[in-house]
Each structure stands twice: as C-alpha cells, then as structure tokens.
Amino acid sequence: MTAPFSPPAPITVNVALGERAYDIAIGRGLTATLGERIAALRPGARTAIVTDESVAHHWLPQAEAALAAAGIAATPVVVGDGEASKSYAVLQQVCEALIAAKIERTDLVVALGGGVVGDLAGFAAAIVRRGIDVVQVPTSLLAQVDSSVGGKTGINSPHGKNLVGAFHQPALVVADTAVLDTLSPRQFRAGYAEVAKYGVLGDEAFFAWLEANHADIFAGGPAREHAVATSCRAKAAIVARDERESGERALLNLGHTFGHALEAATGFSDRLFHGEGVAIGTVLAAELSAELGMIAPDDAARVARHLAAVGLPTRMADIAGFRQEGLADADALMALMAQDKKVKRGRLTFILLAAIGRAVISPDVEPAVVRDFLAGKLAGAPR
C-alpha cells in the first residue's frame, strides 16, 4: 500500500451533532486562516487565546497576526507547560483571566496548544459565564487526532486523570499540520499512539496502512494529512453516534484504563507522556485479550511490534525508574484504576479486542484476573 497524494486544499471533516455540528479543518498553513475563519463563524466577536509557554514562543505571534488581520481583538492567556497545568489552581487562573478580559458569552476562547491546553481552556470556556464557545487550534499530533475533537474537557484530580470536567463541544477545530514540525520526536511519537489506536480499535485496513506508511507520517509527507483526517473521521463518526459516552464512545478509551493508572503512578509528569501511557495500555489491553482467549497471541504481538517500531514504549518496564520507585505493584495499579471514570458500581469496564480492528466493551472482567495479569507482567519484567 502507498500513501495518497497530498490534497490541493485543506481537508474538512464534519462532526454531525445537529445544531451543534462543527467542522475540523486539516492542512498545512491553516494558522494563517484563523482570523478569516473566526470572522465568518462569529462576526464581531473578541477572543482570548489560551496557550502555554512553549506554544506561545512558536505560534502565538502567528495566531495573533491572523486574528488582527481580520480585525479581531485577542487577549493572550499563557500558562505553564505540561500536565501540571491541568489543575484547580491553573483553571482558576484561566477563568479569572477570561473574566478580567471581559470575554462575553458571544465571544470566543481560542485554545492554542496540545491536549493539556485544549482540555484546560475548553473546561474554562464551559464554566465561565455558564458557557463560552471555544475554537480548538491543536498544536500536537495527539490533540489534532483526539483531544481537540469530541468536546471532552477537564482537569486532573490528585485521585486521577480528567476526573473534573465537562462536555463542551468546540465551535470549530483548525488543525494546522505544519505546526507539528516543531514537535520533538518524543512528542510526535506520543501523539502517534492515538493514531494507531484508531486502527487497532476499529479499522484493520488503516492499521495495515500505518504499518506500511508510518515513516512518511513521521517525515511530514502526504501520509501525515491522510492519517490525521482518517483519525478525525473515525472519532467524529463515533462522537456523532454517542456524544456523552453512554455506549460506543467508550471504545475510544482503548489503552486508557491501564494508561491513566500508569500516568497517575508516575505523578502525571514528563516521565510518561499521555500517548506513551496509551501505547503501553493498548499493548496491555491486547495482551489481556489474548490471555482471555479473545484474540490470538500473534495479534497482540503485532500491535506491540508496530508501536515499538515507531519508538513507543510497550512495556511497563520501559518507564524510567518505574520499578526502583516501588511503583511496579499490581495492587497499587489496581487501586489507581479503581478511580477510572469508566468504573460503574465499583466494577471496571475494559476495552478489549475481538480482533485487530474490532474493539469491544468488556464490563465483566474479574478484578482478580486483571490483578494476576498485571502481577505476571511485572514479575516477568527485567529488573
């Protein structure tokens, strides 16, 4: 299989939510069109651009210039880098900044950044003045294919990831694939875990295409836009059918139950990026599926092999210092998973595989089985 030619114009993916439907615009150089797109979307609106320090250095001047060219006033709100900004304290900082800037309900919040900024700014927009529309301008691969789409916003609690938040759909998503050129290789790889997830959970042909074309995605070739658009279409279709995650949308959490527990165990720090946790979690979900007889061991190995081929961690032992700090404890990980948002009446819901390309919701896996599975993985890990 070969990558398709790069399209001559931006790709538009629609998220079909009736009166709240919105477009995802995907292509290189789209930051320059931000002003004209917002002017068309909300004539006369003012904006507040929420971003982080690193993104502000690279892309805030361009975003401000695009808005200014369209006659749109913009107030920058800059927060610190990293997962630590998804906190009560920083949420308060952003909310107060929006209020001080006199951003009204008819104005717009622009979330210019990766998943952390998108979640934080989106949540602030959801609660300030009981709801201000948000435009997501994702600057990481992970945000472009996952967190900017679908309306999930929130912050972390000391008890776990994303436990405080709201559904707040964006009014527009502008995914400029040129901004991905400024990501570190590690950041790009972490985002790629979410791309691969879409193939593993619902599209075996896409997963096979990724196996053949991942080098062109990483190199910034025409495969990159195709991968982003395919991922967005997959998520948009599921969100349109199940906006509030009452059923099918839970499939998008493949790898996340394990991954979120690992993120919590490492203190939501840069030791384990979210996408890296998802990569390890996806492999664990595939291996648990194989242990339960749902898929062949070779299928689980295929998933692990592809993620490892692009440089992602695939084992808990790949997390720096994981064993030395006493975190490699099956009971401790089970306790962290018990705080997962998908827990229902004290029972965990896992997303497992019936095949590569066909994930299933499994609400009836015995906790003792999961605990023994994790203990076995940890016991076999290098010391």
Known catalytic residues are 130, 152, 194, 235, 245, 249, 253, 256, 260, 274
Structure tokens at 231: 């991922």
Q: CB–CB of 61/88 below 8 Å? A: no
Q: Which residue has the tokens 């390890």?
A: 280
Q: Which residue has the tokens 């985002």?
A: 191
Q: Which residue has the tokens 């361009």?
A: 62
CA distance 33 to 23: 14
Q: Which residue has the tokens 């919040």?
A: 109
Please write down the long-range contacts of 323-328, taking CB distance under 8 Å and 24 or more positions apart.
Answer: 323/381, 323/383, 327/265, 327/266, 328/378, 328/381
Secondary structure class of 288 (helix, strand, coil): helix
For 77, half-sphere exposure in the C-beta direction (CA atoms, 13 angstrom radius) is 28
Q: Residue 280: phi, psi to the nearest 5?
A: -65, -40
Structure tokens at 96: 């107060």
CA distance 126 to 165: 9
Q: Which residue has the tokens 């948009």?
A: 236
Q: Which of 222, 236, 178 is nearest to 33 (CA)?
A: 178
Q: Is the dihedral of CA 113, 116, 117, 123 positive or negative?
A: positive
CA distance 249 to 86: 23
Query: 102 vs 7, 85, 88, 107, 341, CA distance in Å?
Result: 40, 23, 21, 9, 34
